[in-house]
Structure 1
Amino acid sequence: MQDQPEKADQTQSTISRRRFLATSASAAAAIGFGAPAIVRGTNLNEKLNIAIIGSGGRGGSNLRSVSSENITVLCDVNEQNLFRASQSHPKAKQFKDFRKVYDHPDQFDAVVVSTCEHTHAFATLPALQMKKHVYCEKPLTHSVWEARVIREAARKANVATQMGTQIHAGDNYRRVVELIQSGAIGPVQEAHVWVSRAWGWHPSEEAARAAKDLVYSEKRPSHSDEIPQGLDWDLWLGPAPERPFNNIYFPGPKWYRWWDFGNGTMSDLGSHWIDLPFWALNLDYPLTIEAEGPPIQKEIAPASMQAIYEYGQRGEMPPVTVGWYQGTNKPQIWKDGKIPQWSNGVLFVGEKGMLLSDYSKHVLLPEKEFADFKRPEPFIPKSLGHHAEWIHACKTGAPTTCNFEYAGLLTEANHLGNVAYRTGKKLHWDTQTMKATNAPESDQYIRREYRKGWELS
């Protein structure tokens, strides 16, 4: 490392504050944030040596967000992305294949992974096995099984981890969590999350055009387009089934609606939007999951769909049902006009009222009944910033809020919505065995086969 100048009703609120702090402390202990050996004695004025795996698109944004540190390694399958990143970090070693990065562990203390979803686990696991700190873009992995592998590896590694759900660092989410956990609307037994994005397969081309979809197809193209100059297509495919290059997959965000590379809107935006009820309601493993949408397509995720999760009691919190709706699907209470018609939102339904939120604002409903409501004093600390929080954790062993223990559970749940959709059954989930006990046919979507030459171990 190199030297660098140091550039929340009062009773209910108090009880909830204590519960939050106790939960946070327990979570930190469970995932090993007791000052990992790698950071003990680290000077906060020192810079981390960071390897960047994926430097274009989200990767470029993540790179800029950690550029106050020492960028020692740049890796991307696209030479154009590498070239652009190297202009700001000319001394960084360059690689196309992230597997080669791990042949040089002395070059970095931490890794930022911003590859496509289907290679997240492959780029992240070696870092954890080497006890390197990791920041990985959402969704954490491509499958339920991969999320479990990464979560367990992170727990064993005892390093600082963070998934890239940047909105989690915003003040609005914190205030919503405080309101729910302090009992502002009473016990919550129902929550709904909806997003307007409608990218993916539509039942008709007319519907696709109406939604202004970026790309419409329900079949895998058999012909090959010219591979863009500088792109290593074989490396880009990684563990996914081999196929000819086609512009329908590349560049992003085209790829994420194809099952082989991503999981559509469910895992992409679910990482951000389901994060709020997951956090506020202390969610973990769903007991059942059922989903519905257009006819299932083998190759591509649906533009519009919905999934319903049932969770058991968590501590003093009662069992809760959480609904996810994307595209044209909306919760019935929204369609009935009983709440504001926000195009994207999270609705908590409690015994004493409702709370509606989006990324930047929230409202207690019915508003007239909460006109004189006194909010709890804030008890969730202001974030340093999503990336800054991770960097601080790398140097001090402090906890992060989207660590891989939390993010792994969130990712598993999100993927199970798609598993239920693709299986076409209400799944009864056994988290210990990672199986739907009533639907063995779902196994193929929980863990998939990888292309020859690629293994996750």
Structure 2
Amino acid sequence: MKKEELPKALGSRRNFIKASATALAGFYFVPRHVLGGPGFIAPSDRLRVAGIGVGGMGGNDVRGVFASGKADFIALCDVDDTRAKQSVEAHPKAKYYRDYREMLDKEGDNIDAVTVSSPDHMHAVQAMMAMKMGKHVYVQKPLSHDIYEARVLTEAADQYKVVTQMGNQGSSGEGVRKMVEWYNAGLIGEATRVYCWTDRPVWPQGIPWPEATATPPADLDWDLWLGTAPYKEYVPNLIPFNWRGWWDYGTGALGDMACHIMEPPFRVLGLGYPESAECSVGSVYVGEFQRGYFPESCPPSSHITLRFKRDGKEDLQFHWMDGGIQPARPEELGPNEIMGDGGNGVIIEGTKGKMMCGTYGRDPKLLPTSLTTDINVPETEYRVPGGDRGHYNNWVEACIAGYGSDAYKKLSSPFSVAGPLTESVLMGNLAIRSYDYRVPQSNNPNRFDYPGRGIKLVWDGPNMKITNFEPANQFVKREYREGFSL
């Protein structure tokens, strides 16, 4: 069978076995638990996994999935042998690859699911290849680098009937579920304004691309690391972390933290596509009174304002702040009380009150905080066993049970949820890049105008298009380097 003829969904092996058992009614089978003894997990109830990007955060993902006790890593893939070493040593039977395409081609018949924990610019092509082969996928946040990629991955998850989860583990936590119940009980009334903030970035942003180049380390395949991005000579200190501040590879502070911090209000308020976006960004000065212009690099700080239309309700203002910018302290918060968790947080303002939480939706509180101790609201939301620590197992159980199963319906961050969230996160980056879009002045080509500043970008969500500033649409979807596609 040619690759393009593969069925859209291969289904779970457990469903196949159950179907076979029904078809062979009349035969006697010894129960699996009798054959294997206490604690035995039948092969049909184990998930065969391949990992793409298995160092750093990817190593955490490998450990988290394996800790479920129901998953085996059949293959591992990384372009950096040194970073991958810990995962490779922990799973000596797993075959090791550098090119994810080779791994999926060779191991396709041996795996059920794939984890994707590579840099942001590679998420979409790697996840899409796996889904087209009928493999379940777990993808680190942000789900994608571009808005278009997020939309295509969301649609593909439904098309290929695979189990999906994004790596924003706070979505499995207790905190966000409490906040949903508080809001649905009317404790703060109708939400009117949301503030989200982070102290990230903690890597360089708003700087020129380094001039010094070097020979890539022998244990790193630089060309494969670049992947979909335009080819550039290797520069030191970009890997393993500082790539986050460059648009070719990363998505800045928004991409790094917003899927954790914006997720609670998105879930609480049931938000979809924003109607518009505005922004301001922090300046970088390279000399006395001279602002630097470094469009390849994310800014050192930003303030994004998204607006969401809601049927029969007032528009919701949704503020994102990074680089250490924070909203004004609520009057209901005591002078020595910590806002959010110090560096990061969320405040939801309503017509009757306010509530607040930290990163991942942890430690939710009503304001003033004294009200929190008196809450008596029934639990109506499903609790993931283990909370945010159960995020991996939440996905593993759903993969084993199969698409559409009860376990699938209990997923915390399937692409149907993670995709629209990621699109709104990346809308902030589209606004930032539009803000820095410049054109030479007609009467002086050495001076520039910035037509994307001081305006509101109007967003047609269903069609993924800015309707009032065409240059912004170049940031909806990027071109890939030859050899990579969706």
Which residue pairs with 2:54 in the alignment? 55
Q: How does 1:14-413 map to 2 (within 5 A)?
A: 40-41=15-16, 45=42, 46-67=45-66, 68=69, 69-104=71-106, 105-199=108-202, 214-215=203-204, 218-252=207-241, 254-295=242-283, 297-313=294-310, 319-333=315-329, 340-342=337-339, 343=342, 344-359=344-359, 360-367=362-369, 370=371, 373-384=374-385, 385-396=390-401, 397=405, 398=407, 399=409, 400-413=411-424
Counterpart selection for 2:469 from 426, 429, 439: 439
Aligned AA for 1:386? H
Aligned AA for 1:388? N
Distance change in 2, residues 1:418/1:39 (3 Å): farther
Aligned AA for 1:329? I
- Answer yes or no: is the 8 Å Cα contact 2:205–2:246 preserved in 1: no
Distance change in 2, residues 1:139/1:216 (3 Å): closer
Q: Which moved more, 1:418-427 or 1:229-238?
A: 418-427
Q: For 1:139 and 1:216, locate their aligned partners in 2 and report how far apart those are by CA, in whole Å.
A: 18
Q: For 2:133 and 2:393, locate their aligned partners in 1 and report how far apart those are by CA, in whole Å.
A: 22
Q: Once the 2 structures are TM-superposed, how far is the Cα of residue 338 of structure 1 from its aligned partner?
A: 8.0
Aligned AA for 1:407? A
Q: For 1:317 and 1:127, locate their aligned partners in 2 and report how far apart those are by CA, in whole Å.
A: 41
Which residue pairs with 1:418 in the alignment? 429
Q: Once the 2 structures are TM-superposed, how far is the Cα of residue 274 of structure 1 from its aligned partner?
A: 0.3
Aligned AA for 1:454? F
Q: For 1:239 and 1:454, locate their aligned partners in 2 and report how far apart those are by CA, in whole Å.
A: 6
Q: Once the 2 structures are TM-superposed, how far is the Cα of residue 174 of structure 1 from its aligned partner?
A: 1.4
Q: For 1:373 and 1:83, locate their aligned partners in 2 and report how far apart those are by CA, in whole Å.
A: 50
Which residue pairs with 2:442 in the alignment? none
Q: TM-score w.r.t. structure 2 length? A: 0.79
Aligned AA for 1:51? A
List runs of 5+ in structure 2 lacking aligned partners: 1-8, 19-40, 284-292, 436-454
Q: Once the 2 structures are TM-superposed, how far is the Cα of residue 392 of structure 1 from its aligned partner?
A: 0.6
Distance change in 2, residues 1:285/1:51 (3 Å): same
Q: Once the 2 structures are TM-superposed, how far is the Cα of residue 81 of structure 1 from its aligned partner?
A: 3.2
User: Which protein has the larger Cα radius of gyration, Structure 1 or Structure 2?
Assistant: 2
Question: What is the RMSD computed on CA atoms of the aligned residues?
Answer: 2.3
Residues matched between the structures, number = 406
Aligned AA for 2:210? P
Q: Once the 2 structures are TM-superposed, how far is the Cα of residue 312 of structure 1 from its aligned partner?
A: 1.2
Q: For 1:372 and 1:131, locate their aligned partners in 2 and report how far apart those are by CA, in whole Å.
A: 48
- Answer yes or no: is the 8 Å Cα contact 1:215–1:248 preserved in 2: no
Q: Once the 2 structures are TM-superposed, how far is the Cα of residue 40 of structure 1 from its aligned partner?
A: 2.2
Q: For 2:136 and 2:227, locate their aligned partners in 1 and report how far apart those are by CA, in whole Å.
A: 23
- Answer yes or no: is the 8 Å Cα contact 2:12–2:400 preserved in 1: no
Distance change in 2, residues 1:216/1:354 (3 Å): closer
Q: Which moved more, 1:437-446 or 1:340-349?
A: 340-349
The Cα offsets for residues 219-244 of structure 1, whole Å up to 9 and x where unpaired, read as 11233123223100000000111111
Q: Once the 2 structures are TM-superposed, how far is the Cα of residue 373 of structure 1 from its aligned partner?
A: 4.2
The Cα offsets for residues 316-374 of structure 1, whole Å up to 9 and x where unpaired, read as 86531111111232224559988855222110111111101113312211345x37843
Tell me the secondary structure at the aligned position of residue 290 of structure 1. strand
